[in-house]
Chains A and B, each alone.
Chain A
Amino acid sequence: MGQRMSARPDGACALVTGGGRGIGAASVKALAADGWGVAVLYRGGREAAEATAAEVIASGGTALAVSGDVTDTAACNKAFAEIEEQIGPVLALVNNAGVRADNLALSIDDDDWDLVLETNLTAAFRLTRQALRGMLRARFGRVVNIASVVGPRANVGQANYAASKAGLIGLTKTVAAEVARKGVTVNAVAPGFIQTEMTADVPAAVKDAVPARRAGRPEEVAACVRFLASEEAGYVTGTTLYVDGGLAA
């Protein structure tokens, strides 16, 4: 009754997994511009992650590139400790790290199934569980899961990817309902065809299926991440925001 919008505590940190490139890097910059201290978690692309962090710092923001494989729980715990010590409590988590290993279902082997589900879904769950501890204590938290239009929608050759992304949307809804009254929101963003390194091999003709007739830009996805992480989005939870030029419409 008459509860005010809860404010983001000072010194709060936003952790973006896979933050060195593409949608992750754009999200890092958008969150930093919104006043978050940002941790850029990377696995392979050290240079890209450090360059992204350096760009934030050069614009007067706070950022730290931290190495860590999201599928390695011990590495994530270590990264969390380092981030909280150097920047502050993780009160926003953007589960963006993702991989693809495309094939027809008939030909997806167990390794390619496990790799995609572990990275895209299980790691997001584990990081969310870890981050919720501090978020619940702070009575403020924002989890944003980068899902995909693939999952809610079929895409031939991506059964593993579709399962992981649809799973993220299910995870988003249930965790949102569990923690809503504690000032923690959990939402998903579902990008369509976005121009990044990850989609470089997608035939250009795919964009003909997009009502907007063009690929999206990482910054257009990042703007939605920034909004969902903001104080103003405090009453938005459990939802999936499509950023797809109308593809899923």
Chain B
Amino acid sequence: MSTDTDTARIEEVVYSALEEFGAEKADIKRDAGFEALDVDSLDLAELAQIVEDEFGVAIKSGDVEQLKTVGDVIDLIAARA
């Protein structure tokens, strides 16, 4: 189980990556969908690598297909970290 601090750190990394990909900061929320944020499959592949480097959590391409919102990614990392 992750602590709240861990979740905050995961959120920070994910939000900052999404912002780097060009998503509007104000739109980046847990329930925001990747499509609405204009985050595409290459961005998600890049995010998976950032997450792997930062948290040692592997997100496989099969996982990526299931991830629809920012919260989905955060929850998946938190569950595996």
Chain A residues at the B interface, C-beta cutoff of 8 Å: 133, 136-137, 178-179, 181-182
Contact = CB atoms under 8 A, between A and B. Distances in A.
A185 to B, nearest CB: 15
Interface in B17-54: 42, 46, 49-50
A93 B80 CA distance: 34
A182 B49 contact: no
A133 B49 contact: yes
Contacts of B46: 136-137, 182
User: Binding site of B, secondary structure by majority: helix, strand, loop or mixed?
Assistant: helix
Interface residues of B, number: 4
By Cβ-Cβ distance, the 4 closest A-B pairs, closest first, are A136-B46, A133-B49, A178-B42, A179-B42
Interface of B: 42, 46, 49-50
B4 to A, nearest CB: 28
B40 to A, nearest CB: 9
10 contacts: A133-B49, A136-B42, A136-B46, A137-B46, A137-B50, A178-B42, A179-B42, A181-B42, A182-B42, A182-B46
B23 to A, nearest CB: 14
Contacts of B49: 133
User: Binding site of A, secondary structure by majority: helix, strand, loop or mixed?
Assistant: helix
Given A137-B46, A182-B46, 8 more contacts: A133-B49, A136-B42, A136-B46, A137-B50, A178-B42, A179-B42, A181-B42, A182-B42
A77 to B, nearest CB: 14
Contacts of A181: 42
Nearest to B41: A178
Nearest to B40: A181
Contacts of A182: 42, 46
A200 B54 CA distance: 49
Nearest to A178: B42
